[in-house]
Amino acid sequence: MKITDVRALVCHARMRNWIFIKVETDQPGLWGWGEATLEWHTRSVVGAVEDLKPLLVGQDPTRIEFLWQRMYRQHFWHGNGIVRGTAISGIDIALWDILGKVHGIPCHKLWGGPVRDHVRLYCHLGGGRMEDFYETDPADAGRFADLARQAVAEGFTAFKTMAVPETMPLEGNRAVRYAERCVAAMREAVGPDIDLMVDCHARPSPRARPRAWGTSSPRRWSPTTCTGSRSRAGRRRWTTSRSSSGR
């Protein structure tokens, strides 16, 4: 069995592109699918897949480790950059897909079997409508509350929100106050038992973060997950559990 082609297929997904990788073989009906999405680097990833293709065509697709090392090490620059690494990852997933089909088993069986019987899910605020997640005005606390109620009504016990406006390098407390109002509105809307995650998404400036972390609000920060901040210092999550201050 040999690889005959490696193709990147781009799918328009409204605010970004998805990139799927198809590795084809000389066996009728046998191919593998992977994903290599890297937002706003579509052409770079597609080009990287084309650069890697000569290393793969004619090779045995079940020699996954060999092919991974070949892709990573063969060219002058190793594959540890974000673009080439993403392309390698998508191809690697497709190779595992082929191997699972060859043996007639799901890929998790090849990786040692399932670990969990179930996985708790969270949603993005807006239920998949990206405009609600990315473009809701942080000043519109009531809209955040409505979307939070909708998420809970759909059965989620946790959701992620981006209630943080973009900030400039030098800015006052406006953004912090917006975020405070939005988080308070969502907590008020869903009660104390729903996990609320704030995605900073690289929006706070370095000067804005300490003001948010040290806000006089009765809320506290817990060292769990606030994703997308620009430094380790920003990796915190707002919670609104009660404390000695009465909240």
Tens digits of per-residue pLDDT, 89-123? Answer: 999 999 999 999 999 999 999 999 999 999 999 99
Residue 213 has pLDDT above 90, yes or no: no
pLDDT at residue 234 in the model: 39
* Bridge partners for 237 per DSSP: 222
Task: Give me the long-range contacts of 137-141 (CB less than 8 A, separation at least 24).
Answer: 138/163, 138/164, 138/165, 138/175, 138/178, 138/179, 138/182, 139/165, 139/178, 139/181, 141/181, 141/182, 141/184, 141/185
pLDDT tens digits for range 126-171: 777 777 766 767 678 888 899 999 999 999 999 998 877 777 766 6
pTM over 0.85: no
Domains of the chain: 3-110 (3.30.390.10), 123-239 (3.20.20.120)
